Amino acid sequence: MTRINKAACIGGGVIGGGWIARFLLAGIDVDVFDPHPEATRIVSEVLANAEKAYAMLTGAPLAPRGKLTFRETLEQAVADADWIQESVPERLDLKRKVLTEIDKAARPDALIGSSTSGLLPTDLQRDMRHPERLFVAHPYNPVYLLPLVEIVGGEKTSMETIQAAMERLPPIGMKGVHIAKEIEAFVGDRLLEALWREALWLIKDDICTVETLDDVIRYSFGLRWAQMGLFQTYRIAGGEAGMRHFLAQFGPALKWNWTKLMDVVDLDDALVEKIGQQSDEQADGLSIRELERIRDENLVGILQTLKGGHGGKGWGAGKLLKDFEEGLWARASGSKKLTDIAKPLRLIETKVSPAWVDYNGHMTEHRYLQVFGDTSDALLRLIGVDFAYVERGHSYYTVETHIRHLGEAKLGHAIHSTCQLLSADDKRLQVFHTIYETATGEAIATAEHMLLHVDAKAGKAAPAPEEVLSKIRPIAEAHAKLPVPDGVGRHVGQKR
């Protein structure tokens, strides 16, 4: 799959900063140009929030963070980039000017995306020498967590450009949707505009407060939309007869005078003040950065839940996250070589994130098991038991576990794990994992596991194939020469 090698971001505000974080955390170097005097601070704060969110989002090994460089000129920023993302304020004259400057300075093969929320790409590309490579790449905030990008071409945009843009998004964990015809506000913002317009009337007419309106959304259909969208939700509402029955039953309601959708509310000073005051009360003293962190934690939880949906296959945005993680694991496995098997294998490097700690600020019990499980998975990938192997119907299952808690992993601590292979035969792997605090080298916990090779289709143990056993033997032979770790064979409650 084609990847982005070098990105440039012109504009580093809320959306531009989100793009910068998305690229950097995918391991892509980013050059930035933004003349705003606070650009460096704003981007650094967005990036800090993004890193916290990713630590909660996935345990897969992220690529080393890309290099962030602020440039003094637009020309310097775009010179070597193969994907250039423009995210300047939403003014046609400004965007057209900036995009034309990008077009003059960029490499001939560079893709140029605009983060506009509604300006037409045909209007944006009017003065460009190479308008065929300009497209709208409209993301959603926060860009580093919400994966959707609306890809919209103008009259002069080539289909090759659209296809190239769509292909480069999955490796950074994003989903491109091609909007077939350019239209003001595209698709997502058109839907939001309709809801927003009706919401403003409900507040103006004192039907409810902004908090009540938000509660109506987040406690009801917002939950449905998060995982099924609109039409699939209504298909279910139609019962066994499906969408046709739903439309027959509820279609006539569209003619009822329920909505003020075609009426534009007057956003006068009084209404602005009413909404502003109610919004302040709803925030209850929380700062914007605090609200962003709460939002990110909630989004991570939803994405993680969706990742486990549909029988573990993933659903909606969760399936996209699952596929993204599989790519991360595959890249990590390809880069990890068995260069030193004469000592326990160092397999997992991570940090204790806010989502991993209890009320004492210590890592919770089930997170230890998660790290130990990730360590076992990393070993299996080294011996060829990867996603493709599992899809063919075979795997190793953990059938016995014993964990010892020796120390405390605390919020923000860097930790790593090692694996010593105690014994192996054609069906079993006996492993001993240790979690260390990286800074001190202190052993925090150990786990002894017995893994059994199984034929998943037959539902029973089966010998591993020679392609796997041949990778196990040299590790087993090397580790047989190591001292037996303290704690091997212990049972719960055994005296030291």
| Statement to judge: residues 242 and 348 lie in one domain | no
| Statement to judge: residues 176 and 222 lie in one domain | no
| Statement to judge: residues 22 and 88 lie in one domain | yes
| Statement to judge: residues 141 and 246 lie in one domain | no
**What does the pLDDT read at residue 181?**
96
| Statement to judge: residues 242 and 378 lie in one domain | no
Query: Residue 488: inside a domain, yes or no?
Result: no
Q: How far is C-alpha 362 from the geometric centre of its chain's CA atoms?
A: 25
Residue 291 phi/psi, 5-degree rounding, is -65, -40
Cα–Cα distances in Å, from 427 out to 49, 378, 422, 430, 476?
A: 45, 18, 14, 10, 14
Q: What is the DSSP string of 323-382?
A: HHHHHHHHHHHHH------SS-EEEEEEE--GGGB-TTSBBPHHHHHHHHHHHHHHHHHH
- Count of other CB atoms within 10 angstroms of residue 232: 14
**What does the pLDDT read at residue 338?**
58
**What does the pLDDT read at residue 115?**
97
Non-local (6+) Cβ contacts of 216 within 8 A are 208
Query: Residue 471: inside a domain, yes or no?
Result: yes
Structural domain that includes position 374 = 337-479
Query: Residue 442: inside a domain, yes or no?
Result: yes
Binding residues: 11-16
| Statement to judge: residues 419 and 364 lie in one domain | yes
**What does the pLDDT read at residue 134?**
98
**Helix, strand, coil abundance in the chain, percent, nearest 5:** 45, 20, 35
**What does the pLDDT read at residue 147?**
96
Reference 338, options 347, 330, 329; nearest CA is 347
**What does the pLDDT read at residue 1?**
52
In this structure, what CATH number is given to the domain that contains residue 433? Answer: 3.10.129.10
| Statement to judge: residues 171 and 231 lie in one domain | no
Sheet strands (E) in 40-88? 68-70, 83-86
Query: Residue 1: inside a domain, yes or no?
Result: no
Q: What is the pLDDT along the chain (496 residues), one digit of tens a residue?
A: 589 999 999 999 999 999 999 999 999 999 999 999 999 999 999 999 999 899 888 878 888 999 999 999 999 999 999 999 999 999 999 999 999 999 999 999 999 999 999 999 999 999 999 999 999 999 999 999 999 999 999 999 999 999 999 999 999 999 999 999 999 999 999 999 999 999 999 999 999 999 999 999 999 999 999 989 999 888 888 888 888 888 888 888 777 877 777 788 898 999 999 999 999 999 999 998 899 988 998 898 899 889 888 888 899 999 999 999 888 877 776 655 556 899 999 999 888 877 788 888 899 999 999 999 999 999 999 999 988 898 899 999 999 999 999 999 998 889 999 999 999 999 999 999 999 999 999 999 999 999 999 998 888 999 999 999 999 999 999 999 999 999 999 888 888 7
144-157 burial string, b = 16+ CB within 10 Å, else e? bbbbbbbbbbbebb
Reference 271, options 344, 206, 227, 357; nearest CA is 206
| Statement to judge: residues 66 and 95 lie in one domain | yes
**What does the pLDDT read at residue 256?**
80
In this structure, what CATH number is given to the domain that contains residue 96? Answer: 3.40.50.720
**What does the pLDDT read at residue 131?**
97
Binding residues for NAD(+): 11-16
> What's the structural domain count of the chain?
3
Non-local (6+) Cβ contacts of 24 within 8 A are 30, 47, 65, 66, 68
Instruction: List pLDDT tens digits, range 74-121.
Output: 999 999 999 999 999 999 999 999 999 999 999 999 999 999 999 999
Query: Residue 309: inside a domain, yes or no?
Result: no
Question: Dihedral of CA 208/210/213/215: which sign?
Answer: negative
**What does the pLDDT read at residue 155?**
97
Query: Residue 328: inside a domain, yes or no?
Result: no
Instruction: List pLDDT tens digits, range 131-140.
Output: 999 999 999 9
